[in-house]
Chains A and B, each alone.
Chain A
Amino acid sequence: MAENSTLLEVQDLKEYFDINTGFFRSRPLKAVDGVSFTIRRGETLGLVGESGCGKTTVGRTVLHLYKPTGGKVIYDGKEISGKESLREFRRKATMVFQDPYSSLNPRMTVSDIVAEPLDVHKLYKTKKERNDRVLELLKYVGLNSEHASRYAHEFSGGQRQRIGIARALAVNPEFIVCDEPVSALDVSIQAQVINMFEDLQEKLKLTYLFIAHDLLVVRHISNRIAVMYLGKMVELADAEEIYHHPLHPYSRSLLSAVPLPDPKKARENKRIVLSGDIPSPLNAPSGCPFRTRCPHATEQCAGSMPAFDEVEKGHFVACHRIREIG
């Protein structure tokens, strides 16, 4: 199997939303502003950042749930454009949502929820075939036939998330966007679901874009991690590399802010506490978006957005001052 081949390539992706700012006036909110990355077949790319940084929008725009304002999404060598390619793409790429409560229709039984993608894509011939597939999918996620005829409200958060995952697996996808899939779960259940993601990846040869704000979870599950800030990608590298040697000033403070579940390390940890709050994406600063909170910012940073350069092999950073502060 071609382990290192690129499965998904995203080039200069942009997603702007029009926000009404007055009578007949609107301004674009640049939720994602020129993001490029690739995902290799079989890997997990973690995408982290704080609320409002655009990580969820990246996930949704990649899947064309939002029509991209600009940029390209190339899947398996083919650019996604037009209805035909999109329909084909959606049979290979699916999504697991954060909130296991609002993402399942309360009026549908579990079996109908899981089979809905099969219905949409007409992936079965007989009723029996549909039922068998539903049971197979439920088995993948650790549920059984007895659960199939029940409704979503009868399940706990962890079980609901399993149903959501079964639905995402229905079309036999190759690529899944996981948008904060464990954030709403209790710690003890989180680990069950994380393990399930890992098992399914191995068994079904899946590729994940794993979006989350919990850096310890992302580090655990990801091969590589990308960090976003205010619609831009500021750093991308191997998970361990970025965890131990973050280069961008934002990644550094983000990682140092993670409360480590270990009292001794927590005492030793030298936090880089950032001053101020994240600016509104409607009033994003000129140049580098991080410059208003960056301790190293200079005039140059206000002038232009730094390029997303490969400073070490496989380690991309967007920072003007990377040479000086490195």
Chain B
Amino acid sequence: MTSVNLRKDEAETPRAGNGVPLLAVRDLHTSFFTDAGEVKAVDGVSFTLERGKVLGIVGESGSGKSVTAYSIMQILAPTGKIVSGSIRFNGQELVGLDEKAMRKVRGNRISIIFQDPMTSLNPTYTIGHQLEEAIVLHTNRDGKEAKARALEMLKLVNVNEPAKRLKQYPYELSGGMRQRVMIAMALACEPDILIADEPTTALDVTIQAQILELMQDLQKQLGIAIIMITHDLGVIAQLCDEVIVMYAGSVCERGTADAIFYEPAHEYTKGLIRSIPRDENNGQRLEPITGTPIDLLNMPAGCPFAPRCDHALKVCLTRRAEEMWVGEDHIARCWNYVREQAEKGIATLEGGGIDG
């Protein structure tokens, strides 16, 4: 099959911007070795994150979006292991780094906040104690300075009555407030990257709006880069500059938020957008993605989405498409795109042909 616009090499190299990207993940493979066999939770993920940008990773449960984040932080469960690939932070390779060196990065240069702020906070210590501990551990500040910094951080994340909160325990705070405390803790060391793993999923809509607004403000104010992991396309649309769509451990498509929403190229992305209720399909039947979620222990040979894809071609069942450019800063791995381009190509062939 001739490839149209199939320029894999370029997809592999960092784009645009001169110099080293803030974070460059290349062909990351992370597996969990279970009694039932090897589960390839992350199966060849590549992306770059530039300074001050918000990258969204969207996917359903089991798509590998959280494991990608945990691999970057190297906080995988004991059965999980980075099998191959490279994660470069500011040019420094993180894969294979010893624990001592990794600690200088984790929580310091790259921070993470989790879905459930209740289980991420220690119920037996006050908010102040936990914030100060993080500050003392990661910076040169001593106890007194740490206390002042903790107060400053709570003010930064718009917690009301910050001095009082420092003396309170996690159970005394509401869910939204706890998530603010987590953000304060994550930002206390002025990291370059904040990874947010479903930070608003456990929160109510109006509280979610507050937290998203806060994250947007902080991102602008502090110039940090954010990796936003979520299953909610609404959150993605609201917050992200660039988006990665994951399915069964690998990237289906990546591009700007506008490209992903308005010109999706991968059949899975298209299906995902068609299946959510929006203004455009209001009053009509939703078009769901058929079938059931993939079993990571029994991965198909070709495209993992092929068994559920309404437009699967023969080639989809046997061979996976490589990453190809489908537009400026827009990459997808879908044979259907190739087919569409070929059809269009034939149509324009008389006019001047297609470029190779």
Contact = CB atoms under 8 A, between A and B. Distances in A.
Interface string A139-179: 00000000000000000101100000000000000000000
A273 B208 CA distance: 10
Nearest to B287: A191
B241 to A, nearest CB: 10
B122 interface: no
Interface size of B as a range: 35 or more
A189 interface: yes
Given A187-B60, A220-B282, A271-B209, A263 B257 contact: yes
Contact of B277 (A156, A186, A217, A278): A217
A277 interface: yes
Nearest to A258: B205
Nearest to A278: B204
B208 to A, nearest CB: 7
Interface string B147-180: 0000000000000100000000000001011000
B206 interface: yes
Contacts of A253: 206
Given A219-B282, A266-B237, A273-B210, A187 B275 contact: yes
A188 interface: yes
A262 interface: yes
B6 to A, nearest CB: 27
Given A194-B286, A254-B206, A261 B276 contact: yes
A216 B281 CA distance: 11
Nearest to A240: B282
A192 interface: yes
A259 B174 contact: no
Interface size of A as a range: 35 or more
Interface stretch (B132-140, B228-236, B320-328): B228-236
Contacts of A188: 60, 271-272, 275, 288-289, 293, 308
B290 interface: yes
A213 interface: yes
Given A213-B204, A260-B237, A277-B207, A187 B276 contact: yes
Nearest to A51: B204
A50 B204 contact: yes
A187 B205 contact: no
B208 A216 contact: no
A198 interface: yes
Contact of B213 (A195, A220, A271): A271
B275 A261 contact: no
B82 to A, nearest CB: 26
A191 B237 contact: no
Contact of B261 (A50, A263, A278): A263
Contacts of B293: 156, 158, 186, 188-189
Contact of A277 (B174, B235, B279): B174
A254 to B, nearest CB: 6
A86 interface: no
Nearest to B243: A263
Interface string A188-218: 1111101100100000000000000101110
Interface string A218-233: 0110000000000000
A216 B209 contact: no
B286 A257 contact: no
A198 B285 contact: yes
A123 interface: no
A192 B275 CA distance: 8
B231 A195 contact: no
A301 to B, nearest CB: 19
Contact of A191 (B176, B209, B276): B276
Interface of B: 60-61, 160, 174, 176-177, 204-210, 212-213, 231-238, 257-258, 261-262, 271-273, 275-279, 281-282, 285-290, 292-293, 308
28 contacts: A156-B293, A158-B292, A186-B60, A186-B61, A186-B231, A187-B60, A187-B272, A188-B272, A188-B289, A189-B289, A191-B287, A195-B286, A195-B288, A213-B204, A213-B205, A216-B278, A219-B277, A254-B205, A259-B208, A259-B237, A260-B238, A261-B233, A262-B261, A262-B278, A263-B238, A263-B261, A266-B238, A274-B206
